[in-house]
Structure 1
Amino acid sequence: MSPTELTTDRDGGAAPFEHLGLLYRTAADYLTGTVPFVRTALSAGDPVLVAAPKANLDLVRSALGSDARRVGFADMTVAGRNPGRILPGVLLDFADSHPERRVSIIGEPVWPGRTDIEYPACVIHEALINTVFAGRDAAILCPYDAQRLSPRALADAHRTHPVMEHLGTRRPSDAYADPLDVAAGFNQPLPAPPPETATAAYRGQASLTDVRRFVTQQAEAAGLAADRTAELTVAVNELVSNTIEHTTGGGSVAAWSERDTFVCQVEDTGHLADPLIGRLRPAGGASRGRGLVFVNHLCDLVRIHTRPGRTAIRLHVLLSASGP
């Protein structure tokens, strides 16, 4: 069932989940789409979160005046720097903190300045929102800068949002596609590491100490700050531990620097068949999948390519940025 097929009213069970793509070209366009969305929710007594880049946060906060005190705000360039962190750490955290309430969220995960290497994770995030929130009592509005974003980004906005809005007019998206198919389309092989990449093989629990030492030495040599080095080492240790627990073979860790980023890649013989692993906190006391949520929290970007017999998980940490 698609999100737009949920038609029961708010007193009769699940209300429709709305996932709207908002196209804007100017600050005035932005406010025309976002402020009425916020005020409508506030009038209904619903909790509201605005998660967007700081300049757009300031626009909305100023336009709301005193009503801004009733709204939550999050700088998406910080909270959502890693697109894989947005679903569990921003959207679901907010929704789950208001149980049995309809929530309204403005989430802007794609903005001018997102890099090409970040972009696939952004589209996967937008697609999977439709799967994760289907049946929930929620409305999520995602602004897209139609003036400065690429045609590809705008086309993908139409593929990942059942309804598009522009200048106050909403229309069903003719290009909307199955969320899992869209996500699968971005499960592509990652670019090859550079020739000078340092690597370390591992196999069995006894390898964990050597892996941690390898990551720490490589990160320190690259100039990564001590706190970020410690976080990255924990993240890699988590992935390697999962390999040892869930696969019959060993794996390898590669480490290198590219421009302003330090990168570690963990490769093994496993297969992550569920595209939602790492995007959802496991229910109850389940441990399966919890590790990748933690890894997403620690890193500035996580890219994954998986197929039967091989999974590569690439962790990116900015050399000049503070931790999450």
Structure 2
Amino acid sequence: MVAPPARPAGGWHEAVAFDGPVDLATRIAPRITAATVLGDPVLAVLAHEERGALRAVLGDTADHVRFLDPADVHTVPPFTVAVGWARTNRWITEPGGRALVVGQHLEELPGCGPEYWARLDIALDVATADLPVTVLCPFPTAAPQTLVHATHPHVGTDEGVTGGLGYRPPHEAVIDFPPPPPPDLGRPVAHRPFDLDTLAEVRGTVTTVACASGLAPEDVADLVLAVNELASNSIEHGPGAGVLRMWDLDGDVVAEVFDGGHVHMPFPGLTLPPPEGERGRGLWLASELCDVLQVWSEPGDGTTMRLTMNRERVSRPAP
């Protein structure tokens, strides 16, 4: 058992056991205070009671913490949440700074069962691997700990910090937690097959639907560029053709690109590929431009790439 390093090299992802709101606040308040003293950005996504207890213990220091409601944060897929938390490194303003994220596991949230949290934790290890970001994941000591240990490289208890028992690297662990199948969104407002000769028409369709939906002009431009990247990938690296479908939903514009190929990437769009990499940059750019990127790919079943743009752009923590 050891104490966690104050300034780790790269990402630090730790599960923190606690016995109640006050106990949790007592455990993490010193680490939050130390971060704020150094000018580090701090994001906390906690349930109401835990949030109140932490504010009480922190006192005026709480004014330097960004508190977000878990019910808002976890309305998007876990990979999207992981990307948002990794991007807290962009909030750093001091040389040598680190971002600190406290994200509580709350299985009572709609659609957030054990598989959701496992996918989030696995994705966090990928998204924050080389970034100055510390993620603390509070969990009750009475909760089953097998999955917590298996998806966290570090686990903190009363005795100190140890390695997660049975922890597996993300590329191995994610195999056991595939994404749920793409939900049926009903009849699309646009349906257009495409190939190289009709790529310009795809951009025109996206522009028409996005403008009619009420998206801001800059968001329309981002969505057009994102869809163009995905469709271009289908043409250049996939089967050479695909299908665009779009939906105008309550608050969201959704664009989906389907082709008959297979994406051989367990974490599509989660991180920027290395400069020498030939694949993945289009997916990463699409993830940067839109609020949600989801990819489902199975050999023989084709690949579905779905982009969501929220009219209010509220699905990610804003810098």
Per the normalisation by structure 1, the TM-score is 0.69
User: What do the CA deviations read for 1:166-220 (whole angstroms, capped 9, x no partner)?
Assistant: 678756544544422332333346235355234211111x322221232344445
- Could you tell me how far apart the structure 2 residues matched to 1:103 and 1:312 are? 36
Q: Which residue is equivalent to 2:203?
A: 212
Matched, 1:311 2:303: yes
Cα gap change, 1:259/1:95 in structure 2, threshold over 3 Å: closer, same or farther?
Answer: closer
In the alignment, what sits opposite 1:225? 215
| Shift of residue 105, structure 1, vs aligned partner | 2.1
Q: Deviation per CA, 1:135-173, whole angstroms, max 9, x where unpaired?
A: 8776431235799xxx89x87544321344467875654
2:124 aligned partner:
129
What's the % identity of the aligned pairs? 23
**Which stretches in structure 1 are left out of the alignment for 5+ residues?**
none
Give the one of 1, 16, 23 matched to 1:22.
Answer: 16
Distance 1:178 1:60 in 2: 32
AA in 1 matched with 2:206: V
CA RMSD after TM alignment: 4.7
Of 45, 69, 77 in structure 2, the residue corresponding to residue 52 of structure 1 is: 45
| CA–CA distance in structure 2, aligned partners of residues 213 and 136 of structure 1 | 38
Point out where structure 2 has 5 or more consecutive residues left out of the alignment: none
Does 2:255 align with 1:264?
yes
Q: Taking structure 1 as reference, are residues 119 and 103 closer, same or farther at Cα in structure 2, changes over 3 Å only?
A: same
In structure 1, the partner of 2:226 is 235
1:201 aligns with 2:193: yes
Rate the CA distance shift 1:262–1:180 in 2: closer, same or farther, 3 A: same
> Pick from 101, 105, 130: which aligns with 1:106?
101
Q: Does 1:36 align with 2:30?
A: yes
Count of residues in Structure 1 that have an aligned counterpart in Structure 2 = 309
Q: Is the 8 A contact 2:103 2:135 kept in 1?
A: no
| Change in 2 beyond 3 A, CA 1:120/1:302 | farther
Deviation, structure 1 residue 267: 1.1
The one-character-per-residue Cα deviations of 1:117-151 (angstroms, maximum 9, x if unpaired) are: 8996764342133345558776431235799xxx8
Q: How far did 1:291 drift? A: 2.6
- Normalising by structure 2, report the TM-score: 0.70
Deviation at 1:20, TM superposition (A): 1.4
1:81-120 matches, cutoff 5 A: 83-85=78-80, 87=82, 90-91=85-86, 94=89, 101=96, 103=98, 105-108=100-103, 111=106, 115-116=110-111
Structure 1 residue 273: deviation in Å? 1.8
**C-alpha deviation, 1:298, in angstroms:** 3.1
Paired residue type of 1:241: S
Aligned 1:279-294 pairs, distance under 5 A: 279-283=270-274, 288-294=279-285
- Rounded Cα–Cα distance in structure 2 between residues aligned with 1:174 and 1:240: 42
